[in-house]
Amino acid sequence: MKDKKQILIRALTICIAVVGFIAVVMGIYLASRFIYNKSFKDKDNGAASLDISTEQATITDATTTETTELSETTTEETTEELTEATPLDAGEDVTPPVPLVLNKEPYVKQWESFDVHKYIGYADDWDRTPTFTVDGNVDTSTLGDYPIDISIIDESGNETDAEMTVHVVSELPTSTPRPSYDFSDFIRDYKNSNTEIGIDVSRWQGDIDFNRVKAAGCEFVIMRIGGYDDGSVYVDSNYYANMKNAKAAGLKVGIYYHAEERSVEEVKQNVKWLMGVLGDEKLDYPIAYDWEDFANFESYEINLHDINNIYQAFYDEINSYGYDAMLYSSKNYLLCLWTNEQNTPVWLAHYTNSTDYTGDYIMWQMGCTGKIPGITGDVDFNIMYLNR
């Protein structure tokens, strides 16, 4: 009986030893897998970087902006999920958020509500939802000046601070209109052997007499085909008439697309729609991508890498249909937001007599108060460079 008990104890001891050995081996294996995966992820996390300078952000005063949008835009926050960007370790992200639009001295009419987000738009290179705080109070029931301090902090702790003075007034100040610019003067100043001169239009120009436009010396017209607004695509109400009549008048033609996408998938769907609207039309210029809702950028919950990937997806999709594409942007956003790493064609918007933008561009929108026979009201003037 005693011998059987000893045998049983030895057998149990051996079993325990075997189980312990297996546990040690499994522990070593799992630990090695954890170390390998972590090193791989750390290497992948540091693969991309984006150089954004906060000193180049767009700053506007109370009554003027550098450029006027090509199209009417309104934005609501959407809820579509985005693919997570590769996270950065805390020590790698050293770039603070960028104020894309900042009105340092907004005017608010007495008794009207004040919403600070109407006067500032911002973005971060990685963080899609930076922390936004305001220190100060604005009492719109009482006339006066109200200083407030703004802080924008990304998830890595990088901070951008801004000051704003809100003026509560009984009557809002009026802006000084830009002087009009006649097309004949435009020809005199910018037409040469290396340029073509033209206009861009949308429904805002109403019904256009393109024969008179052509007779005035205009060589091309870029027209809005439509766009993406509040989650829905739309065709510009004057697009079909503009395309038909501009071609009939013998003008070269191109189109631009008003964009508000917040994901690559939206771009792919909308380019397919755009191609359906365009049909078999022949174009003389690249299709322009016009994303410019920067005052509400944070509501899209995308980062600066996302918006650049969105444009590149548009460019690639347009190319897949046999057309070329280009990026429409003001000088400021070409400096502080768009990276254009593939060096695609650029349509520069800079309202001045002589641009100091040193980057590459093939077309320059130099003003928005042009006057030309055949159009009632203002129209944008553009210069296309044949060899630049």
The distance from CA 206 to its chain's CA centroid, rounded to whole angstroms, is: 27
For residue 173, the one-letter residue type is P
Class of domain 54-169: mainly beta
How does pLDDT run across 188-234, given as a tens digit for each residue? 999 999 999 999 999 999 999 999 999 999 999 999 999 999 899 99
Instruction: Count Cβ atoms below 10 Å from residue 317 Cβ, excluding itself.
Output: 20
**Which H or E run includes 334?**
helix 331-336
Rounded CA-CA distance 17/21 in Å is: 6
State the pLDDT confidence band at 41, using cuts at 50, 70 and 90: very low
Give the pLDDT confidence score for residue 388 in this predicted structure.
78
**Is residue 185 scored above 90 in pLDDT?**
yes
Helix (H, G, I), strand (E, B) or coil at 106: coil
**Is residue 258 scored above 80 in pLDDT?**
yes
**Is residue 39 scored above 90 in pLDDT?**
no
| The model's pTM | 0.77
- Architecture of domain 181-385 in CATH? Alpha-Beta Barrel (3.20)
Contact (CB, 8 A) for 217 and 187: yes
Mean pLDDT, range 102-108, rounded to an integer: 98
How does pLDDT run across 297-355, given as a tens digit for each residue? 999 999 999 999 999 999 999 999 999 999 999 999 999 999 999 999 999 999 999 99
What percent of the chain clears pLDDT 70, i.e. is strictly above it?
77
Rounded CA-CA distance 181/184 in Å is: 9
**Is residue 357 scored above 60 in pLDDT?**
yes
Mean pLDDT, range 259-271, rounded to an integer: 98
State the pLDDT confidence band at 73, using cuts at 50, 70 and 90: very low
